[in-house]
Amino acid sequence: MKAFKLIQFAVLCSLLPAISLAHEILHLQAEISYRPSHPDVIAIQVLDEDKQWADESVFVASSSPGIQNYKLIQVTATKNGKTSAVEVSEAIILKESALDRASDIYLVLAKPPDKDSKYEVSWKLGTFKIVPPKGKIITNPDGPLEVEGDIAKHLQFAHQFPKNELSIKQGSDFGAWTFHYYYSNSGIRVNDNGEPDPDKNITIQEYNLHLGITSDGTFQSAQKGNYFDKFEAEIGGYLANTIYRRQPVLGNWGVVELGLSGKLQADQNFDKIDQTIGVNSWLYLHNELFDSIAFSPWFYDGKRGTKGYRQFCLPPIIKFGYDYVTNLKEGDPTSTETGHHRLDASFYWSLPVARNIEIKGIPLVDQITQVDFIADLASIYDIDESKLYPEVNLSLDFVLSKSEKVPTISLSWANGKTAPTFEHFDAFLAGFKMKL
């Protein structure tokens, strides 16, 4: 009997390392890029048992042939039962400080993913040198890995443009409506000179064409013209380039666009019409500074710390430009005098305030799922007249559903002067927004 108990004890002792090791298991996961404003990237990451990012560096850069030759990595897409190869144009590894190791590998795709397809990543044996930390094991070092993540949300972030929306709001003296619509179409090419050099084999978003229509106005008001009073149509063509964090541009990921655009600007009655043509630069940048600012006012998230939790943060959209202005029609001789040369700048940022809200028992309030703070700032400097025309629109949006078809309740403060009339406006408004 004692012998049997000794055997049981010995078996238990032999299992202790395995039991302790079971709590030190890591695995690899492939996920569509979670980095907003970044091109189309699949990230291969190290996760722990709770599907949280593991703070571990397991990839050895110098000993991983796949880093130098991305053709050793295969990405496939399956749609309607048919599987096809997906072109990878670059593999990027971000080294941890001065070490030769990293916890993530990024596969840059040659074109945007299809939201209706299922993706999978596989690689040949020896493509990656994976060395887990002492006392830990990787359960799936050889793949293949099914690509996870919300592709539709990725496309919204990585290929973002000012949101298409209609808002109707009411203030103490008058109501107002705003309509924004943008159409964007981009092209992507791959530089491939046949050399296994990641700095020479890169994907470039070559151009971006867009058409924008903006209309702001008042209704049911004796003060028409003292608030938004504008109709604007814009068409532009831009050369676009992608930057990576490894490049010393403020540590940014993102897209920089440089190009030409032309606009027609008119008041609501088309009494005053201006035509502009100019050069513009659009910046969609993402870095740790923007992250920290965005997450600072984020005071609530019902899913924070839960299994599979992911944080999304939209970077600001920054625009600079110069316009030459031609007056096509001037119906009111007393209107604000303007020159031919203008500098303009704008800043748009959607900041999260609360996410995944769970409030029960309070009518209407219990329908709110998230809260966003929108900073929409713009300014025009008239060089000939030496005048500055600022425009501020700050909104607090209460989202009532995960579906974009459901209107969002919006509270806002608007102040400033906008082209082409440059009449001053100042108002607090409440109403709703609808995505188009």
- Look-up: residue for tokens 């009532």? 400
Residue 8 pLDDT exceeds 70: no
* Position with higher pLDDT, 378 vs 333: 378
- Looking at residue 435, its pLDDT comes to 80
- Looking at residue 248, its pLDDT comes to 52
130-140 confidence digits (pLDDT tens): 888 888 888 88
Question: Residue 105 in contact with residue 93, Cβ under 8 Å?
Answer: yes
* Position with higher pLDDT, 276 vs 210: 276
Share of the chain above pLDDT 70, in %: 70
- Looking at residue 126, its pLDDT comes to 85
Question: Residue 344 in contact with residue 388, Cβ under 8 Å?
Answer: no
- Looking at residue 249, its pLDDT comes to 57
Residue 9 pLDDT exceeds 50: no
* Position with higher pLDDT, 301 vs 21: 301
Residue 204 pLDDT exceeds 60: no
Would 23-149 and 160-435 be classified into the same CATH topology? no
Residue 20 pLDDT exceeds 50: no
- Looking at residue 21, its pLDDT comes to 44
Instruction: Give the long-range contacts of residues 33-36, CB within 8 A, separation 24 or more.
Output: 33/106, 33/149, 33/154, 33/158, 34/149, 34/154, 34/310, 34/311, 34/312, 35/157, 35/158, 35/253, 35/286, 36/157, 36/158, 36/160, 36/286, 36/312, 36/313, 36/314, 36/315
Token digits of residue 99: 């070490």
Q: List the chain domain ranges.
A: 23-149, 160-435
Residue 276 pLDDT exceeds 90: yes
Task: Round the average pLDDT of the chain to a whole number and report it.
Answer: 76
- Looking at residue 33, its pLDDT comes to 66
Q: For residue 19, what pLDDT band results from cuts at 50, 70 and 90?
A: very low
Per-residue b/e over 269-285, b at no fewer than 16 CB within 10 Å? eeebbbbbebebebbbb
Share of the chain above pLDDT 90, in %: 14
Q: What is the mean pLDDT of residues 193-205?
A: 41
Write out the DSSP string of 375-420.
Answer: EEEEEEEETTTTEEEEEEEEEEEEE--SSTTS-EEEEEEEEEE-TT
- Report the CATH fold assignment for 160-435: Outer membrane phospholipase (ompla); Chain C (2.40.230)
Smallest CA-to-CA distance from 351 within 415, 310, 388, 395 is with 395
Q: What is the mean pLDDT of residues 252-278?
A: 83
Q: For residue 278, what pLDDT band results from cuts at 50, 70 and 90?
A: very high
* Position with higher pLDDT, 282 vs 83: 83
- Looking at residue 388, its pLDDT comes to 95
- Looking at residue 315, its pLDDT comes to 77
How are the residues of the chain apportioned to helix, strand and coil, as percentages rounded to the nearest 5? Answer: 10, 50, 40
Residue 378 pLDDT exceeds 90: yes
- Looking at residue 206, its pLDDT comes to 57
Count other Cβ atoms within 10 Å, centred on residue 6: 10
- Looking at residue 154, its pLDDT comes to 73
Strand pairing category for 202-219 and 59-60:
unpaired
- Looking at residue 333, its pLDDT comes to 67
Within 287-407, strands assigned E span 300-301, 317-330, 341-355, 370-382, 387-399
Q: Which CATH architecture has domain 23-149?
A: Sandwich (2.60)
Residue 165 pLDDT exceeds 60: yes
Residue 110 pLDDT exceeds 80: no
Residue 366 pLDDT exceeds 50: yes
Token digits of residue 267: 């008041």
Token digits of residue 404: 């974009």
- Looking at residue 390, its pLDDT comes to 94
Write out the DSSP string of 20-52.
Answer: HHHTTEEEEEEEE--STT--SEEEEEEE-TTSP
201 secondary structure, DSSP code: S
53 secondary structure, DSSP code: B
231-243 confidence digits (pLDDT tens): 788 888 777 776 6
Q: What is the mean pLDDT of residues 410-425?
A: 86
Q: For residue 228, what pLDDT band results from cuts at 50, 70 and 90?
A: low
Residue 368 pLDDT exceeds 90: no
What pTM was estimated for this model as a whole? Answer: 0.66
Token digits of residue 96: 């941890």
89-98 confidence digits (pLDDT tens): 777 776 655 5
